[in-house]
Structure 1
Amino acid sequence: MPTSAISRRDLFRGAASKPKPVNRPPWVEQEALSRCTSCSDCVSACPEGILSLDDKHLPKVDFSSTGCTFCGDCAAACSEGVFGETEGPPWKVRLNVTNKCLLQSGITCQVCTDYCDANALRFDLSQRPVGALVIDNDNCTGCGMCVGACPVSAISVTPIASEETV
């Protein structure tokens, strides 16, 4: 029996069967979350203020205001071994851009590319009328700087292993 009621509209949209993917802090693998004690030391240590605890009291990332600088302070603050080696890739994520992107409406905007230090976002000016956004997920670090910068919230960063349900 579900713990919360779902509307008929959400049921027909498939929302009942597809939980929204949760972005976990960098260097945290799904298996390691079982060691999390919900102490929130990682949340307090984050200088960007993008970490919080979700409804299951596990750390999650919110890119709505800014992104991750991969400073490692969250990992250093954790005494439970939830974070892996900070030398490797921070996480496996994919950058997504919805049709809410201003370019889709013929409005020139390049705020996201201005914030992308990894050059994972670029414009294809051969597309008319104002160009198209091209995503290079291989170059994307998943920092999320572009997410908070987007004036219409058209960009999201989602874990590649989106079967996560915790």
Structure 2
Amino acid sequence: MTFILLIGLLGMFLVILFKRPIANLLGNDNPLVHRLKNAIWFQNHWKSGIFLFVMNAALFFSTCLMLYVLTYFFIPFVHFVVMFLAVTGSIILWLFINRAWEGTTKNRLKMGALGSSFYLFMAALFVCWLVTLKPSYPGDDPFMAAIGLMFAIIVVTIAFITCFVMTGFSIKKTRLTV
């Protein structure tokens, strides 16, 4: 499990490092980007930050629901596919929002901080849960629950950093001059 977490950490750092080439794969003529660019409410950094916050929450909780439903089936390793698709979907959403939002750098940082703060709230919730973790019954060992909460804290912290970097900093366009 630690190996998978380390692979996830490395993957997120690579996504942050290669943000511009990944964004170029999406193309410039995306209908969702045009729809968001043309929405007047989206150009307000508070409203777009709340939109990003809600979308992050929806993706997080829908992924949690899918993983919970998968616990009732005995299909091995499907949860890895669900988690991979959730991460990929989140990165694509963040790139769409990055491309669609236009404004000052200061307001972009506000929008990115507000939208990615969902993951900070989740990290704080998991930390509180970890600190107040008690055995369910006498003789219960909450060690595995503590390990799971530590992994959750690491995952949502990495999601916060990645979301903030992907949405809070613009993708600079480079022009080739001959």
Task: Give me the TM-score of the superposition, normalised by structure 2.
Answer: 0.24
The structure where strand makes up a greater share of residues is 1
Using structure 1 for the length normalisation, give the TM-score: 0.25
Higher relative helix content: 2
Q: Select the structure with the greater relative contact order (CA < 8 A; seq sep ≥ 6).
A: 2
